[in-house]
Amino acid sequence: DLLILASQSRWLDPATERVVVSRAPVRMDFGGWPDTRIFLKYDWGYLMNIALRLWTYVVIVQSRRPGSYVYHALDFKEQIHEREKTFVHQALEELRSQLPTRERSIIVHSLAPPQTGLGTSGSVGVAVVAALNAIKCGKTMTIEEIVYLAHMIEWLRMESETGIQDQIAAGNGSSVIRCLARKFPLSRWRRLRFLPGMRQKVESSSFLIDTAEVRSSHEEHRRKIKMVGRGGEARRNVLDSIRLIR
């Protein structure tokens, strides 16, 4: 499940105002694509996923001094200053009016390999928004609001074609999801309940093999959108293949 920890302890460095740690899981899905914009334009979507304990961690160290931010992407061994193409920058821009003007270090690390189809970007997005939610001014967001905002930033601000199931799993855990036709990304979801001992059995019999093969979900979305845009048989083939998965 999504977890957020915040500290304002007197034991912190005097120059540090607050430290926030959040974590969110990635997911394994059963029936992908019915949560995507290209499909929901024509039909409703129904799918299920299981959250995996391959956590994405976000740590925000907020100074008492005014200033900008430094983003440390540990998985890519990068230290990024004010780069607009990152989710962190876009999230800060989206919440700018609600955030105090402070110097911040933002550290992101995921136990799941990037671009493997496990919803890592959705997990990063939810963990980042949840951490910023803990330090922003005004009303605290609900988990549902965090899920929708993380998706909106990735989809609209970063112009990345993505369904919403990744963010739902990151915020809600294992879920059964119904996506509303012609109302993307509005969805209804509930927690997937396991029989006693079933979760442990599933986890103990599952494993991840990293082949180092890069899989770009964004490019795959673009390819399918182009095929649907052609209309006729190409569109029917794409939609029928998704219905078959559903």
pLDDT averaged over every residue in the chain: 86
Q: Indicate whether 74 pLDDT > 90.
A: no
Q: Tokens for 231?
A: 């209309």
85 burial level (CB within 10 Å; 0-12, 13-18, 19+): exposed
DSSP at 102? -
- Within 136-164, where are the H helices? 143-152
Q: Is the pTM of this model over 0.85?
A: yes
Query: Residue 180 corresponds to which amino acid?
Result: L
Inform me whether the pLDDT recorded for 84 exceeds 80. no
Positive or negative, the Cα torsion across 150, 154, 155, 158? Answer: positive
**Averaged pLDDT, 112-136:** 92
Summarised one tens digit per residue, pLDDT across range 202-226 is: 777 776 666 666 667 777 778 888 8
Residue 83's pLDDT is 66
